[in-house]
Structure 1
Amino acid sequence: MTTTATTATPTFAFTAPAPYWQAGVDDTLQCVSVHDETHDVRTFTFRAVPARRFAYLPGQFITLELNIDGQTVNRCYTLSSSPTRPDTVTITVKRVPGGQVSNWLHDNLRPGMNISVLGPSGEFSFANAPASRYLFLSAGSGITPLMSMSRALVDLGGDIDVAFVHSARSPADLICRNELVQLSRARKGFHQAAIVQVRDPEPEWSGLEGRLDLAALERLVPDFRERTVFCCGPAPYMTGARELLQSAGFDMQHYHEESFNFADLNAAAGAAEAAPAEPEAAGECGYEVRFNKLGDVVHTKPGQTILAAAQQQGLRVPSSCSKGLCGTCKTKMLEGKVDMKHGGGIRQREIDQGWILPCCSVPLSPVVLDR
């Protein structure tokens, strides 16, 4: 009697550790899983193609470059994963009514699909503000960078003292609800609490109800004034958190926040740069900037970026972060020279091909853009 052995071909095989992901060189991620966090929030997990390990600061973000209806659309999403687990990265995305990118991701992105990305980038991380005690404040999908930080702190071991207070509309909207409870059980120094505006559809909810105020904060974290605060959420939430802490005598030098609404950052940056800048080594003279396809011409002031000049003169140019991070305003330069101080929102090969980021580019000569 002859027996024939058969071996199933594995769909995934462990190999020697892959090289590290190089921002600006590597740019392709493949979706490997999609997980529902709530009724309108999903976590997408990716691995690099080709295989790479990821090293980044907990709290940083990536910029997705997507083709939607024949147009390239850029959007920034914080990594909700932790660099302590370096073989994959995740983003956690809330479906926003009318949101072009969030709806596309929920409706179309599936395991096996590849997307192009930039980054990771960003400065919002406890790694840039070491402290013995932290207070994490978040609302809605603003929980993502703080989940990244929490996962990293728990994974790294050692003594930690973290108080995490998350706000949501209802118990059904609490992102990573069970995981936060598990983290608090796993680590003695990790404490979490949630505040919801309404109990429905969970009338037996035993946590706090309402909005974050001084009474709730004093009850949940009595020593909050002695902690370093990281805060992320919708703009009204963060405004309220700042005002609450300031009124309570908190030292705002120990307050850090991240806005995932780059439109707000863009408006603030445009207002700040609307006035003429002081002449500096780069851009001591103002120059003409011609938008070839639009047919518009703007004139920069000394030291002023192209985006700031365009906004000041009423020209609508696609942009988001205004800091050279996200790549949304990326444009081909047909003629001219600029001084570009970007923050990772453009690849070196793109620069070599003549692409620039108008948000962080000061003309050194007359410029013609292919836009």
Structure 2
Amino acid sequence: MAAETSLPSAAVRYWNDAEMLECVSVIPEAPNVCTFCFVAPSGALFSYLPGQFVTLELPVPGGPLYRTYTISSSPSRPLSITVTVKAQPNSIGTRWMLDNLRPGMRIKALGPAGHFTSHHHPAEKFLFISAGSGITPMMSMVTYMYDLGRIPDVVFVNCAKRPSDIVFRERLEHIASRIDGIELRWVVEEGDRFQPWTGYKGMFNQLMLGLTAPDYLEREVFCCGPEPFMQAVRDALAGLGFDMDHYHQESFQPSVEEEDRDATEGDVVPEDAKAEVSFLDSGIVQTCKETDTILATARAAGLNIPSGCTFGVCGTCKIKKKSGQVHMVHNGGITDDDIEDGYVLACCSHPIGKVEVEA
């Protein structure tokens, strides 16, 4: 979906990932959380759906490293895009961004991509539930709804460790103060010493769900956050009789349900047998087991195929298969059209016998 613009130019250009992104600002949001704003050096506009993500190629020592981040800005504001990232104790890529990425630097990005968007599930009433940096797709979607100028019906629940950890709090409270229809519900585990807290406190559960959104059964639910948090939300909704066809989540961690889902080229299952992958661009032939992925086989051969999530969500490792058969179990990171055109995701494709790929 192309974002509308009132610019007078008759030939509007849109950014694609053949062009690098230029960082123009870095905005601190919370402890170990920053928003990075990027523009296209050519002046191209950005077109994407609210809630989608990009994969950044980060030049870390020993890299490059590919990391997938949800776009926190809205396509209704197409002059730039932002990603808001939180560094965990074991972060490598995100830590590099916070310590090194500065205005004027350019990095490569892949995308936008992703199916976690309210555009795919139109409804009269929405419930956005997030924790930590999982607030980013919700911020994009609610900003888009605000910019439309119509009155939405959104209950926006965000959970954080403490009040100072709530990302976008002031910005969201400003939006909610300007129009009706956006109800904010902050939930924290503990208070801040110098900031008395009078809102919800505790862990998200069925009781908290009923308090924050009493009419949750009537709403389209979008959820994003750490996997244990999303599991708690799923359990709370299912236990209260919610129709889970109206539940949607964004996750860059594999779930048992998704790992078991079969999305193969043919009804085949990899075995502990020998296979062979020919990387045509590099002229390398590497033997492996059928239980190995093409990505793991490439790395064993000393090849660097770009990859992000490594389990079939982000689509960063998409490559063209020229011959042979693979067993591919993905999580939405590749389209049916791409599969029909011969593309596979290296991170979740297992070679069956001899396979040739462009890499």
Q: TM-score range by the shorter chain?
A: 0.7 to 0.9
Distance 2:229 2:11 in 1: 41
- Distance in structure 1 (CA, Å) of the matches to 2:288 and 2:145: 50
Aligned to 1:144: 136
Cα displacement (A) at 1:65: 1.3
| 1:361, distance to aligned residue in structure 2 (A) | 5.6
Q: Compute the displacement of 1:26 (Å).
A: 3.1
* 8 Å CA contact 1:170, 1:201 repeated in 2: no
Question: Once the 2 structures are TM-superposed, how far is the Cα of residue 213 of structure 1 from its aligned partner?
Answer: 2.2
Give the letter for the 1:128 counterpart.
Answer: H
Report the more deviating stretch, 140-149 or 25-34: 25-34
**Aligned with residue 209 of structure 1, among 201, 205, 209:** 201
Q: What CA distance in whole angstroms lies between the structure 1 residues aligned with 2:72 and 2:118? A: 14
Q: 1:366 aligns with which of 341, 348, 354?
A: 354
Amino acid corresponding to residue 312 of structure 2 in structure 1: K
Counterpart in 1 of 2:315?
A: 326
Unaligned runs of 5+ in 2: 1-6, 299-304
After superposition, residues 154-173 of structure 1 pair within 5 angstroms as: 154-173=146-165
Q: For 1:251 and 1:121, how far apart are their aligned partners in 2?
A: 27
Evaluate the alpha carbon distance shift between residue 307 and residue 133 of structure 1 in structure 2; reply closer, same or farther with a 3 A threshold: same
Greater displacement, 44-53 / 81-90: 44-53
Percent same amino acid among aligned pairs?
39
User: Aligned pairs, how many?
Assistant: 333
Work out the CA distance in 1 between the residues paired with 2:47 and 2:263: 37
Change in Cα spacing, 1:276 to 1:59, as seen in structure 2 (3 Å) is closer
Which residue of structure 2 lines up, in the alignment, with residue 31 of structure 1?
A: 23
Residues 1:114 and 1:184: Cα distance change in structure 2 (over 3 Å): same
Counterpart of 1:229?
A: 221
Cα distance in 2 between the residues matched to 1:158 and 1:57: 18
Q: Decide which of 155, 166, 169 is 1:174's aligned counterpart.
A: 166
1:16-63 deviation per Cα after TM superposition (whole angstroms, max 9, x unaligned): 47734354x533110010000012100000001222111111000001
Any residues of structure 2 matched to 1:292-303 within 5 Å, and which? 296-299=287-290
CA distance in 1, matches of 2:235, 2:258: 22
Which 5+ residue runs of structure 1 have no aligned equivalent?
A: 1-13, 311-316, 349-353
Q: Is it true that 1:248 corresponds to 2:240 in the alignment? A: yes
Structure 2: how far apart are the matches of 1:324 and 1:214?
A: 29
Instruction: Return the offset for 1:367.
Output: 2.7
SS at match of 2:177: helix
- The counterpart of 1:239, out of the listed 231, 246, 251, is 231
Residues 207 and 291 of structure 1: is their aligned pair in 2 closer, same or farther, counting only changes over 3 Å?
farther
Once superposed, what is the RMSD of the aligned Cα atoms? Answer: 3.8
CA distance in 2, matches of 1:363, 1:247: 41
Contact 2:277 2:351 in 1 (8 A): no
Residue in 2 that maps onto 1:351: none
Q: What residue number does 2:4 align with?
A: none
> What amino acid maps onto 2:240 in structure 1?
A
What is the deviation of 1:67?
Answer: 1.9
Deviations, residues 50-106 of structure 1 (Å, cap 9, x unaligned): 221111110000011122114221111000000000010000000111211010000
Normalised TM-score (structure 1): 0.77
**CA distance, structure 2, for counterparts of residue 167 and residue 295 of structure 1:** 47
What is the CA–CA distance in structure 1 between the aligned matches of 2:77 and 2:191, rounded to whole Å? 35
- Cα gap change, 1:156 to 1:100, in 2 (>3 Å): same
Deviation at 1:222, TM superposition (A): 1.3
Distance, in Å, in 2 between the alignment partners of 1:251 and 1:167 is 23
Residue 11 (structure 1) aligns with: none
Name the aligned partner's letter for residue 144 of structure 1. Answer: T
Name the structure 2 match of 1:53. Answer: 45
In 2, Cα distance between equivalents of 1:269 and 1:319: 17
Q: Between 360-369 and 128-137, report the one with greater CA deviation.
A: 360-369
Preserved CA contact (<8 Å) 1:287 1:366: no
CA spacing shift, 1:122–1:38, aligned 2, 3 Å = same
Residue equivalent to 1:8: none
The structure-2 alpha-carbon separation of the partners of 1:305 and 1:294, relative to structure 1 and needing over 3 Å to count, comes to closer
C-alpha contact (below 8 Å) 1:324/1:357 kept by paired residues: no
Asked whether the equivalents of residues 330 and 357 of structure 1 are also in contact (C-alpha less than 8 Å), the reply is yes
Provide the rounded CA distance (Å) in 1 between the counterparts of 2:10 and 2:131: 37
Which residue type is aligned with residue 297 of structure 1?
Answer: C
1:109 counterpart (91, 101, 105):
101
SS at match of 1:297: strand
Distance verdict in 2 for CA 1:238–1:332, change over 3 Å = same
Q: Is the 8 A contact 1:324 1:360 kept in 2?
A: no
Within 5 Å, which residues of 2 pair with 1:64-83?
A: 64-83=56-75
Aligned to 1:220: 212
Indicate conservation of the 8 Å contact 2:278/2:357, yes or no: yes
